[in-house]
Each structure stands twice: as structure tokens, then as C-alpha cells.
Chain A
Amino acid sequence: MLRFDRRLLLNFDWVLIVAVFVVALIGLANIYSSTHLYTKVGTPLYLRELTYYLMGAAVALLIVSIDYRVLLTLNYPLYIAMILLLLFALVFGKTIGGAQRWIDLGFFRLQPSEPAKLVLVITLASYYYRKETGKGFTLLDLVVPALLTGLPFLLIAKQPDLGTGLLLGFIFASMTLFVKLRWTTLATLLCVGLSAIPIAWKFFLKPYQRQRVETFLNPENDPLGTGYHIIQSKIAVGSGLIFGKGFMQGTQGQLDFLPERHTDFAFSVWAEEWGFMGSVVLLLCYFFMILWGLNIAISARDKFGVLLAFGVVSLIFWQAFINLAMVMGLLPVVGVPLPLISYGGSSLLTNLAGLGLLMNIRMRRYMGTS
């Protein structure tokens, strides 16, 4: 199993490494800028983030050294562990900002909903790999994967963390569509899904969640309340103009007008300080990284590799898109971090693990197939 081939090193994906490295540098610099004023006690946040990066790199290295196909054996143990963690968080978890999301490990506060995203990707990839597609999935074929997704979704939505919950839904939808659905199945799902929206609105969403959506549709109605985040974020991004206000010179971020400026709204800080130019550079690096991930998927040696890589890419893409659209005022405020840029250990470790999987698949693309 731990057969370490020299070919592995030859197939090392330098492009992916460089892309991740550039984005990581930007993320660290940005966290330094947005938090240097406010860390008065303890380790500065950028140093903590750097520690998470190193931890994440170690995790990724471990993942790279083991053939990804081991996940076909580990998928259900991982899934069960994830469900237990989520239950544990729900029952014993730390409440921060009104949501029970955290498990205190002493040296580290784990947010189990973050690794849950990646575990779902692994679970679905394993499931779809084993399932014969044939002419495409019927509605009945979707029951098991839907249940596999639905259980963590409910546990996470209950915290409540609607953003992460929805993200699971997006991952499920992306991967399922990728595998192949029957047209009839797709049409039925669309009809059911659309008609479910009003019901969900009425019975499923919590008042603060409904308010967020309403605020998004008309932020100026409530400029000091829930509309505040959107307005301040748009001001931060817009006032960056072409070249930005300069590193650590952003007034919106530095003067605290921007909420959650090192986590969910980290990109606003970047856009304010580096302007359109800096934002374009970051977006290009970012999307290059994502597209490169798809390239890895298509070059995988087996279908499991393709599905797994595609799942990881959809995980990163959806987080990035939802977060960026949110800080630019295109989507309601939902707590989805920007991978590698937003501060947070759980998110960073999860995403680096995912990128480790991509590297794993890439490095083994010529192996064991001959």
C-alpha cells in the first residue's frame, strides 16, 4: 500500500503547487493586514493561520503519500465518524454567534461542518463509482445518495448553518449531474425543487435566515441592521477603485466598518486595498487553480479519481463563488468562507486536504493502469 515509487515524484504537479502557494501568500498577507491592529493578546492571527497552513501542508503530504483508492475502503468509516462529530457538535458544541458549530479540542477548535464537506465528496465519489450508471440514474437510484447527503445537511442546518448546508446540496447536485441523470429524472427533480422553495421558505427557514434573504433583495431598507454587511462590503470593494488604497490602508477594513473582515469578508479587504487590479489577479489565480483541478479530474487513471477530483473542484468552486458573490452583493449573506483566503483552521485544513487529494490523483495518473 505504501509503495513509494520514484515516478510519483516525477509526476509531482508543480503547477498546482505554485497556484496554491500564490493564493496562500495572498491570503496570509490579507489576514495580516486586516487583523494586525486588533490582535493585542496572544498569537497574531496571521501567525496562527500560517500554523494552520503548515498543519494543512502536513495533512496534504500524508494524503499524497497514500493512494487515494484507499478511500474506497475508508469512505463509510469516515462518513460515520463525520456524522458522530456533527452530532457531538450539536449536543456538546461551543456556541459562537448563535450557532453550535464548534468542538473544543483544547489547542484547536474544530468546526466539524468543514471536514464534513470533504467527507461528503469522498462518500458520493465512492458511491457513484460503484454504481453502474447505464443509461443514467433514475429517481430511485438517487435515494441512497440523497439520504447520504441529507443526514449531514440536516445536522448542519440545525446548528444552524444554512450556508454550509446549502453547500452540501450544491456538491450533491454537481456530482450527481456529472455522473449522469436521466432527463426525466432531472425534469422531475427541477419541478419538485422549484415547488419546494416556497414551502421551505415558510416552514424550514429560521426568521433570521428569511431576513437575510429579504435584506439581500433590498439592503437599503435596513442599512444599520442586516443590510449593513452588504452595504459596507460593497463600499469596501467599490472604494478600492483601480489600484486600491494600499496594503493596510483600507479604511473600511482597518476602521472596523467591515464586519467579519478576516473571515467571510476577507476578499472585501483585499479588493479595498488592492483595487480592481489586485482583485483581478486574485480571481485569475483562483480560477486557474479551479480549472486546473478539472484538468486533473479528466487526466485521472480511473473513474473514482475523476469523480473524486471533480467533487473536490466543485467543493472549492462553490465555496469561492458563493463567498465572492456574497461580498460583492450578488447573493445574500451566508456564512461561507473563501477557501485559502478566509481565516479559519477547519476550513483551511479541509481545503488543503482536498487539494492534497487532487495532487494525489494527479501524481498517480500513470500508475497501476498498465
Chain B
Amino acid sequence: MTPRPLTKINKIDPAELKMLKKRIDIAMALIIFAAALLLTRLWYLQIYRGDNFAKLSEINRIRIQEIAAPRGNILDRNGQPIITNRPRFNVVWNREDAPNPDAVIKDLARILNEDISVLLDRIRAGTENPRYMPTRLKEDIDWETLAAIENKHLSLPGVRIEVMPSRDYLYGDFASHFVGYLGEISPAELTQSRYAKHQSGDQVGKQGVEKIFEEYLKGEKGRNYLEVDVHGFEQRQMQLQDPYPGNDLQLTLDIELQRAAEEAMADKAGAVVVMEVNTGNLLVMCSTPPLHLQEFVGGISTTAWNKLLNNPLNPLLNKTIQGQYPPGSTFKIVTALAAISEGVITPEASFFCGGSLNFGNRRYGCWKKGGHGTVDFQRALIESCDVYFYSVGMRLGVDNIAKYATSLGLGKKTGIELEHEKGGIIPSTAWKQQRYKQKWQDGETLSVAIGQGYVLTTPLQVCRMTAAVVNGGTLYRPQIVHSITAPDGKILKTFAPTSEGKILGSAHSLALIKEALVGVVNSPGGTAKSVKLPDVLIGGKTGTAQVVGLSHVEGMSEKNIPYKYRDHAWFTSFAPAEKPEIAVTVLVEHGQHGGSAAGPVARAVYKRYFELKSGISGTASEPPPLAKDEKEE
């Protein structure tokens, strides 16, 4: 093919030009159509469906990072902090920043005192997460480790410190059962409506007031709105919503008294309850052995948990409200109140105690084998004569006893704002019929009259009963919280004393009982003379609760009885006698004698209480040694 010379140009002939023009017009139409199609598509994407895409682009780029709120503080009744928050430092691994992880991990393992393989395992486990997400290598490191890491900061690329708020237990295991502990919310809890605002991974109260008042304590989480790129890495902070701390919870507990009780109970398993008799406020809620709250921070280990489960002293049980024990002789207060009020005896009427009483074909013994001789109402309570109360019980019948016991708040839950409270048992003919489908035996009434047999009570019930007897007959609902205060100081809620009504029994009978109870501590022959304080008149009642039938321990000397067969020791009391302010109830598991095992604990609490009241602060002195003749029951 030879090209035509350039200079020779063929002008297009008109016919062909016309045809080409026509085709150009068609091409123009097609191009305009294409443009219209694209514009329509733009309109559809940007205007018709624009809001939808705008939303999608927001979701794309915004990551919301939640910031845990500091939980509310827990304070004692004087506003002294018991539990606050402290920063908790975790070591995290950011693989994006670590070009050479092996050397860094080697260094880090030395600082953290951890095995390299442990750290590597954790890093490996974290590789499934998105790259921007740090992996936690060690939680809650101490200040020294923190300082070491901060010092070597530059030589540890990829290692970062994460700070989060954590509980700070200022008094260690102080009232541990009562305040409870925190843990990660469980899948089961997440489905409950009370946790509707929670999310998986949150720390929530698992026990005690931490759990009950979760809603008030938790605060509002903060939110950090981060703009992220396609890999999830932060580009900048869009908006920061600070967390709002939880509300402060002012308990009715008194730090000093609680500590006095815990010190006195340090080597004992049992419970101490102290209640303000005219309000129902609880000043002490002590259950021993305590839980070690620090073990629960960040989740308790399986080994530690199994150890708790298998401990024969049952540290997991909050004995103040969950421990159910026969009240023993402390129950004679109930029998006495019923007897005088019902008029089955007069205070002056005397009974003879020869050491036992025969009823039916059985012999019912008095704790004092030689007998008390002739005893009237006062002496019977002071010396805790069983034979006297057998006789009174027989006259009353079990249903009369049950009626008074129930009106004193026994045999049912007190309504304290804590979970898993036990109600105890107050037997009656109807109860036995329902429970065992059996007729009540009269002999069983004798056991009930001295607080044995089927009767079961919790230390809190016994304390509340004592308070009601000495405050003029009002049964208060136990209060554990004084008030709830917002972080800005605004009081959100206060808890006024709640009366649950008057107990049965005449004012006269109550006065008689109170007088006798003062005698228990202060008169010769009283079973709790060891509790006596020089300046304050204390009244109270000892008790011994049999754990097993006598046959198990027959003939053994007290020292030789195995721990688990030893009797529980009770002491329930009040002071000052003239105008009672507080009731103190002590239970020592397998403590054998109310006066000697439980009494000194109560005495230590009173001592502290009245020292604080008169403005003296100091440590309680040792209780006086026990005299031989003061052994009781």
C-alpha cells in the first residue's frame, strides 16, 4: 500500500459526509444517553440512598472505645472510706509497634519474672484479634515492675502499659462477706433484666453490697470516639465522653467496731452482729474466717476457689445471715417472754431443779448436773436453769412458744438487703405436720423451750430479737446502708429506720426479762460475768447449741471432743442497760461455752464502742482470765 501524497487531500463527497454526520448524531445521542444513565446512578447513590451510605461510612470510620467508670466508694457510717479505687496497670503487647519481638519478649520476661514461653503463648493467642488490638500479657503489675518497664520504655518497642480502675480494699478483708467482691459478668447474668445496661466483659458485684447496689455503684462508662482507618488504627480522637463515677455508698457499718469484732474473732469461726437497737442499723456484720478479697480481683483462680470450697471452716458462708444454728439458751428469752405474757407463771413462782426432769419415759437433764435447787424467774434466766424452762415450756405448749418466737422475728428472713439469707426454723404442731406429716410429741416441746430440737436461727435474727426485747418492743428491719450519695455530693437516697411492728408481750414482762439479763452479766452466779465492764452496765444471755446428740460425746472430757462435735457458743447482749443503744450477738462455732468463748468477743466490741463514744481511741485490753466457777451450762 502506498499512501497518497499529503498535499493531495480528498474532500469528503457530500453524500458520504451526510451519512457520517448521521452516524455522528447517533453517537452523540448514545453518549448523551450514557451520561444521563451515569447521572441517574449518581442521583440514586448520593441523594436517593445517600443517607444510608452516609451511615455506612460513619460506621466504617468510627470506633467507640469504652472507658470503665470508677465504681462508687464504699464508706462506713462516719463517711470513712472502706473500699475505693486504685489504678491497675496491665502490660499489653502491641504487635504493630514491634519490629523485632523476640529480643523484646526476652527482656520483658525477665522484668515480669515470667517464663518466655508463657508470654509467647499469650501473644500467639492474641494473633487472632485484629492487629490494632493489644494483647494483655500480665495484669495488675506492682509499682516496681511498672517503674522498671517505664525506665526501659525505649528498648521495649511494642510493650505498653494499660491503666484501668480497680477496687482498692483499704482495710483488707474487712467485712468481706458483707461488702462482697467483683467479677466479670457471666453469660447468665447478661440475660437478666437488672444487667440490661451491662456488656460482656464488664466487672460487676458478685456478692454482698457490691452486688445488691450494683446499679448505684457502677457509674456511667465513658466513650472515646476514635476515627480509625481501614486497618482499625486510630487516626484521631473525635470526641471524648468522660466516664461518670458511680455513687458512694455509706454503710451503717462502723469501721472501728467491725475491726474490733474481727480482731476478737481472728482465731475463731463464727459471726458477730451489732445492731443499733432503736434504728435497726447494723454496725458490725462479721463472719469468720474472712474471704480474701484480693484473690477475687481479676477473677479467682480455680485452685483458690477449690480451697475455699473444701475448707471445713466454711469461709464462703456468710454466717451472720446464712449460718443456721440452734439458739440454745439464748432462746430462753423467748420462752420467758411467752410464759410471763401468757400468764402461765408469775415471776415469783419457784421451781425445784434437781439436775433433771422426768417426762414421759425420758429423763431431761439440766446443764448443771447437781441441779440449781429452788429457782424463781430471775434466777432461772441468770443461771440458765434448763429444768425451770422445761416446766414453763410444758405449760406453754409449742404453739405458744412459736407465736412469740415468730413475733420476735425468728424462723423467717429478716428482710436484710443481702442475698441468700436463711430464715431458720421455728417449729410448731402445724409445721411438723406439714414438714414430717407427723403429730407433735410433747417431749419435743421441752427441747424447743431451751432452744434445741428443731429450732434454728441465724445470728442476725438473734441480734434483732435482743434489740426488740430491750428497745421497748419494736422489731426493726435490719439496715445496712445509711445513704447513697452522687459524686457531686447530692444525696440520692437515705434509708430511714423501718419498723416491722411491735412484738408480742407486755411491757412488764419485757422489763422483767431485761432486769434478769442484766443479772446474767452482773449478778453472782450469772453465766456471763466475764463480760462485765467497769463503767457500763451490760445485759445479755449466753447459749450453747448442741451439734450432735449427747451419745457422741458421752464420757469425753471437753478437750477430747473432736472439733466438729463441740457445741456452738452463743452470747447475745445489749448495753447500756439503763438506756440500751446497741445489741451485740456473737456466735462462735464449736466454741463450747457462751460465756467463755463468745462473751469476750462481745466485751471487746462494747469496750471499743464506749471508748469511741467517750472519745478515747486505743486498743481494747485483754479480757480478764476466767475464774473456775464461772463455767456455765
Contact = CB atoms under 8 A, between A and B. Distances in A.
A29 to B, nearest CB: 19
Nearest to A301: B9
Choose among A237, A310, A330 the residue with the greatest number of B CB atoms under 10 Å from its CB. A237
Interface string B200-227: 0000000000000000000000000001
A239 B54 contact: yes
Contacts of B9: 69, 301-302, 368-369
Choose among A255, A271, A272 the residue with the greatest number of B CB atoms under 10 Å from its CB. A255
B7 interface: yes
Given A255-B235, A317-B31, A328-B38, A130 B1 contact: yes
A251 B60 contact: yes
A294 B31 contact: yes
**Top-3 shortest CB links A-B:** A238-B53, A239-B57, A238-B45
A177 B20 CA distance: 11
Interface in A237-288: 237-242, 251-252, 255-257, 271-272, 275-276, 279-280, 283, 287
B227 A255 contact: yes
Given A239-B54, A369-B9, A280 B20 contact: no
Contacts of A369: 9, 11
B28 A238 contact: no
A287 B46 contact: no
Choose among A242, A287, A301 the residue with the greatest number of B CB atoms under 10 Å from its CB. A287
Given A252-B57, A291-B28, A328-B45, A72 B4 contact: yes
B51 to A, nearest CB: 8
23 contacts: A72-B3, A73-B3, A73-B6, A174-B27, A234-B53, A237-B46, A238-B57, A239-B50, A239-B53, A240-B50, A251-B60, A256-B230, A257-B60, A257-B61, A271-B45, A279-B42, A280-B42, A291-B28, A294-B27, A301-B9, A302-B10, A303-B10, A328-B41
State which size class the interface on A falls in. 35 or more
Contacts of B23: 177-178
B16 interface: yes
B416 interface: no
Given A251-B227, A256-B229, A303 B47 contact: no
Interface of A: 1, 67, 69-70, 72-73, 130, 133, 174, 177-178, 180, 232, 234-242, 251-252, 255-257, 271-272, 275-276, 279-280, 283, 287, 290-291, 294, 297-298, 301-303, 306, 310, 313-314, 317, 321, 324-325, 328-330, 368-369
Given A73-B3, A239-B53, A234 B32 contact: no
Nearest to B62: A251
B31 A283 contact: no
B88 to A, nearest CB: 33
A251 B39 CA distance: 23
Given A234-B53, A321-B38, 17 more contacts: A70-B6, A72-B4, A177-B23, A178-B27, A232-B60, A234-B45, A237-B45, A237-B53, A251-B61, A291-B28, A294-B24, A294-B28, A301-B9, A301-B11, A317-B31, A321-B34, A328-B38
Given A238-B50, A317-B31, A325-B38, A298 B21 contact: yes
A241 B10 contact: no
Contacts of A240: 46, 50
A287 B229 contact: no
Nearest to A228: B230
Nearest to A368: B9
Contacts of A310: 24, 27
A133 B20 CA distance: 12
Nearest to A252: B57
A314 B26 CA distance: 13
A178 to B, nearest CB: 5
Contacts of A283: 35, 38-39, 42
B229 to A, nearest CB: 4
A124 to B, nearest CB: 15
B52 interface: yes
Contact of A235 (B4, B51, B56): B56
Contacts of B563: none
A239 B54 CA distance: 4
B38 A238 contact: no
Contacts of B49: 238
A302 B4 CA distance: 13
Contacts of B16: 133, 303
A251 B57 contact: yes
A298 B22 CA distance: 10
Nearest to B19: A180
A324 B36 CA distance: 12
Contacts of B21: 298
A298 B227 contact: no
A251 B60 CA distance: 9
Contacts of A238: 45-46, 49-50, 52-54, 56-57
Contacts of B227: 251, 255
Contacts of B235: 255
A329 B44 CA distance: 11
A235 B60 contact: yes
